[in-house]
Structure 1
Amino acid sequence: MKIVEVRASVHVFDTVLPLVGKPAGDSVRIICEIETDSGHTGIGMASRFLPHAVAAAVTRHLGPAVMGADPRDLEAIHARLHTLVSERGQTIGINLSALSCIDLALWDLIGKHAGRTVAQLLGGHRDHAEAYCTFGFGAFDRDQLVAVARDLQAQGHQRFKMLVGVAKGGIREDAARVRHVRDALGDDVTLAIDANESLSLDDAMRLCAMLADQDIAWFEDPVHRNDPRDMGLLRRRTTIPLSAGQMDGHSDRFRAFIEHDAIDIFMPNSLYNGGLTETRRVAYLAQIYNRPLSDAGGGGIFSLHHVAGFRNGTLVESHLGVDQVERRIFVSVPHVQDGRMAVPDAPGFGVTLNRDAMRDTLRST
């Protein structure tokens, strides 16, 4: 099995939040397809930042470097690619996103060639993952938050995540919004919060104190740039578990979190960190340090496989915006049923591109 073609394209999707009709966040995807002489096509993806630059990096630099390679030779391929994306230091930014595109497509190819899902290739711990839903956007007022959450409950969701650092009234209003949802939904639901790296250490500490009695399942990306030193200080001041890894969740980053005793839950995202090969390294590091492995940040169908595949995998994210994108970009995707998401039966990542949607959403350079 040899690689014969690599292509990448940029696509923009419309997403809408219920009740308010505003956009539901991230709507840009860079889609990579790698074809082999055996007739298989692997699908990879990256998201959001400088998409045309990422697509160009894939087609003009990384793609030519893997031509003729066997997709199963991951170490040999990464040895070749890493000299292109960074000859020294830690690869970041566009370079990592482009590497993510290539690497995810390789894993899809390996699974299709073997007739196994990617979750099975990673160890096959389960054929599903428990799910949580990111719904608590700043565009909703307090009562709208409750209305949306109750509708999601009717659809089978049992775990919820709200954004903080978004309220016009500052962290006091953030805390009031969380309390309002907790009071309405009761103590039986799982409720987490996410600051998207928007808070100072002081504000994060104060917010944790305000919500200490609300049984918060985790606090994600709590402080500016997720500074490991600040997160370590915050973790020593609160009983709320801390999580991170969405945007820069490569193994060196998690090593820094561990060294500063800064994190409870590992949340790598293969669309940003260099791909599933890097996420696998993170997963093993999480196992070594007895930390749970979860998902955040729009990884969607791709992240489902690492959460299901590893025995320390816990929760996969369902996101009001990401779900809309994936339902358009793929012919079919798994839905949350009774609080869990099943791994598709088909090999690889188990999804097929919707060619009509690919054409309609294409954005040229």
Structure 2
Amino acid sequence: MILPLVEKPAGDGLRVICEIETTDGHRGFGMSGRWMAHGVAAAIKNDLLPVIKDMDIRDIEAIHGRLWPEITPRGIRAGAGMTALSCLDMAIWDAVGRATGRTVAQMFGGARKKVPVYVTFGFGVYNEDQLVQLARELADQGFGCLKVLVGVAKGGVAEDARRVKIVRDAVGDRVSIALDANESLSFDQAVRLCKMLDDTDIAFFEDPVRGNDARELADLRRMGRIPVAIGQFDGYASRFREWIEAGAIDIVMANSMYNGGFTETRRVAALSQIYNLPLSDAGGGGLFSLHHVAGFRNGTMLEMHLGNARLERALFTNAPEPENGFLAVPDGPGIGLDLNRDLMRDSLIKEV
């Protein structure tokens, strides 16, 4: 990938890498998102690993049967515990893949070997000239969809709408444009923004309202006439069921870093297939989420967040690069990525 000329925000926040090793020498690793890293690391080390240390990594359901009571004895799914479960679960799937010689995408079903990428690039720190420059560069590199952040402009949704429209004018009809509010807008603000962009041909609106309230999302779908995409942080299967039953969702966006791991994403994928909904990715899952988008037959697009993509290039010695707007699943088994252990040693935080 040719890096854009405009300086991009770097991925920030601490990350937890959880690496496991079986008694017969198979290893696997998972990675957390960038919130509550110390709590996540402590939960994995002190609460989760001790209860499964004697188990066979292939017994995924039995493993989760032991882990769930440690995470959420009364059914509430949130916080560092869920992120810890996600990180550990991905490490287990990686180890199983490496032991069997199959990628996680193949274990999910192997629907395709490469997937189209949409790029999250429209950060609030960019002025309008920078947005235009970067949008054109990314379009020229073959990316078919660009995502602009909204709810970030000092001038409110009117300025958000103007920023989106200048991107549309810059790339014309050759590229799809999506929005992401990161749950920052009120329902009224989201409705106003949709009306302002009624003639702009928006591909989808991700996390448009605070708390992703199912009732408000359903109303927004009807009033705003823009497809709604949700699921970055609380995208576990029962939450998706609520959104689907409320008529609140068009695109299922799972993120294995937060929802309980690859195991939960498999459940989400089955649910999305039952309801004939497309399965995508959002929220910095990047090269991990590549596997469910490629693995399941209703997989669509993979997010490439420019800040997180920079982190992935530094952290993994063999991170794949997009070509003509597509990203291929790595050839190696499991997640297919190799850790840059020199970088890990240099950046290690010892307090856990």
Bin for the TM-score computed over the shorter chain: over 0.9
Letter in 2 for 1:232: A
Partners of 2:251 and 2:77 in 1: CA distance: 23
Equivalent positions of 1:116-195 (< 5 A) are: 116-195=102-181
Partners of 2:16 and 2:138 in 1: CA distance: 29
Find the partner of 2:6 among 9, 19, 30: 19
Partners of 2:108 and 2:66 in 1: CA distance: 23
Q: Deviating runs (4+, > 4 A) in structure 1?
A: none
Partners of 1:76 and 1:279 in 2: CA distance: 17
Find the partner of 2:54 among 68, 71, 79: 68
Letter in 2 for 1:176: R
1:45-87 C-alpha deviation (Å, 9 max, x unpaired)? 1112110010000011101111121111000000000111111
Measure how far apart 1:361 and its partner are.
1.7
Measure how far apart 1:18 and its partner are.
5.8
Contact 1:42 1:109 in 2 (8 A): yes
What is the aligned partner in structure 2 of residue 111 from structure 1?
A: 97
1:157-180 C-alpha deviation (Å, 9 max, x unpaired)? 221000000000000000000000
Measure how far apart 1:271 and its partner are.
0.3
Does residue 315 of the first structure (1) align with residue 301 of the second (2)? yes
Q: How many residues of Structure 1 are paired with residues of Structure 2 in the alignment?
A: 349
Equivalent positions of 1:1-365 (< 5 A) are: 19=6, 23-365=9-351
SS at match of 1:148: helix
Contact 1:40 1:113 in 2 (8 A): yes
Report the CA distance shift for 1:20/1:324 in structure 2 as closer, same or farther (over 3 A): closer
Contact 2:11 2:311 in 1 (8 A): no
Q: Could you list the runs of 5+ residues in structure 2 that have no partner in the other structure?
A: none
Contact 2:10 2:311 in 1 (8 A): no
Contact 2:117 2:326 in 1 (8 A): yes
Measure how far apart 1:27 and its partner are.
3.8
Partners of 1:106 and 1:321 in 2: CA distance: 27
Letter in 2 for 1:19: V
SS at match of 1:317: strand
Measure how far apart 1:364 and its partner are.
2.5
Q: Identity over the aligned pairs, expressed in percent?
A: 57
Letter in 2 for 1:223: V
1:231-286 C-alpha deviation (Å, 9 max, x unpaired)? 01101112210001001111111011012100000001000111010011011110
Partners of 1:327 and 1:184 in 2: CA distance: 28
Please report the RMSD computed on the Cα atoms of aligned residues, expressed in angstroms: 1.4
1:99-137 C-alpha deviation (Å, 9 max, x unpaired)? 001100011011111101100000000011111100000
1:126-149 C-alpha deviation (Å, 9 max, x unpaired)? 011111100000000111001112
Report the CA distance shift for 1:25/1:329 in structure 2 as closer, same or farther (over 3 A): closer
Of the structure 1 ranges 89-98 and 187-196, higher mean CA displacement relative to structure 2 is found in 89-98
Measure how far apart 1:305 and its partner are.
0.2
Report the CA distance shift for 1:95/1:283 in structure 2 as closer, same or farther (over 3 A): same
Q: Could you list the runs of 5+ residues in structure 1 that have no partner in the other structure?
A: 1-15
Measure how far apart 1:17 and its partner are.
9.4
What is the aligned partner in structure 2 of residue 5 from structure 1?
A: none
Partners of 1:28 and 1:282 in 2: CA distance: 27
Partners of 1:354 and 1:261 in 2: CA distance: 44
Of the structure 1 ranges 71-80 and 39-48, higher mean CA displacement relative to structure 2 is found in 39-48
Letter in 2 for 1:29: R
Measure how far apart 1:20 and its partner are.
5.1
Contact 2:116 2:300 in 1 (8 A): yes
Report the CA distance shift for 1:20/1:346 in structure 2 as closer, same or farther (over 3 A): closer
